Amino acid sequence: MRFAGFLTMLLLVAPGMQAQELAQQTPVVSPELAADNSVTFRIKAPDAAEVKLTGNWMPVAPDGQGGFAQQMVSLEKGGDGVWAATVPAMDPELYAYAFMVDGVRTLDPANKHIVRDGRFSTASVLYVPGEASDLYWAKKGPKGSVHEVWYESPTLGLTRRMFVYTPPGYAESNANYPVLYLLHGGGGDEEAWPTLGAAPNIIDNLINAGKAKPMLVVMTNGNPDQAAAFTVSPKLDTESQGAGGMANMLFEKSLVNDVIPYIEAHYQVATGKENRALTGLSMGGLQTMNTSFENPGMFDYIGVMSMGFADLSRFGINIDHSKREAQIKALGAADPDLYWIACGKDDFLYESVVTMREQLDALDFDYTYRESPGGHTWSNWRIYLSEFAPMLFK
């Protein structure tokens, strides 16, 4: 009985002792932003032999095997088993990062903010505040709404998902609004612009500042063989539903034949090309070009981000150059208010944009060009959206 009583007391006391020990441990703070915008990253991994930091702001360099790899920063191990590294002053921006613990990609356990970039990559998020990143954060003021919408796409033979942003005051208004159709890049899906792209916050903040007209923003899935992002639960019957890849241009057809008619039938929107804008990045930039070339009188505002006249034969896309020339002339004759091209100087598709501009110039096609530093990154694409949206529907 005495032993039983002692055991009972031990069971009662032990959890309290463990809680006290945990309370006495210093919590790991990561990431820690200093006044000079330097950032310290930390992770507790007492048994690890090596820890590195990888982030989307780090340069890409040849990997010695004919490819490219992102450079990384090594962390130093402290006596308490906490590894740390301080990165010098970082520009205001939204960043994504992760640790490599003995070669294993690991999210920051001290940071609850995460984001998914494409199908296989999830990362921790760092927000460095400042004027350049001010639009990306939810600020005080009226907020729009983001709606998850399932619609029928006879063109693709699928019931598909998209996200539709409606501006502040939409539900209470009788007004008809213009629409921006916003396309993601390769490897992404309909969740890319609302999350990584911070599109709802950007548009909210521009509208509230009087810099952009209230508008709807439609964010679709540009992969014609997907009904929705793979994150949808319960999982769809089949992951790939047979519509094929981007080479068949079925997505572009579905955008015109399925998405736009659905939006104009179910939302308070103004019709006519003067009330439609289309833009996209990378693969979405290609789809923007294709759609605008095939439908020259449909959009008055067209934006191509990080894409030009590239050689895409490896994707099964072979360009009929005489047809393209005729399409460019037809689009020019339709006289869109804005044809906007944007690309980073270090973008791997930069030369394709140079080629595109040379061909447009040879045909006296009117366009506006925006060149920025940096590469094929969300840091650029968020900037492009924040600059493109205020130019719309004037």
CATH homologous superfamily of 135-391 equals: Alpha/Beta hydrolase fold, catalytic domain (3.40.50.1820)
**CA-CA distance, 111 to 33, in Å (whole number)?**
13
Q: Could you report the per-residue pLDDT of 117-161, keeping only the tens digit for each?
A: 776 578 999 999 999 899 999 999 999 999 999 999 999 999 999
Q: Could you report the per-residue pLDDT of 193-212, keeping only the tens digit for each?
A: 999 999 999 999 999 999 99
Do the domains spanning 26-129 and 135-391 agree at the CATH topology level? no
CATH code for residues 26-129: 2.60.40.10
Q: Could you report the per-residue pLDDT of 275-326, keeping only the tens digit for each?
A: 999 999 999 999 999 999 999 999 999 999 999 998 887 777 777 878 999 9
- Domains of the chain by residue range: 26-129, 135-391
Task: Assess contact for 55 and 9: CB atoms under 8 A.
Answer: no
Could you give the 3-state DSSP secondary structure of residue 155? coil
In this structure, what token pair is assigned to residue 172? 């209470």
Separation in Å, CA 217 to CA 16, 27, 144, 263, 379: 53, 41, 10, 10, 20
The pLDDT-based confidence of 7 (bands split at 50, 70, 90) is very low
What pLDDT does residue 59 have? 75
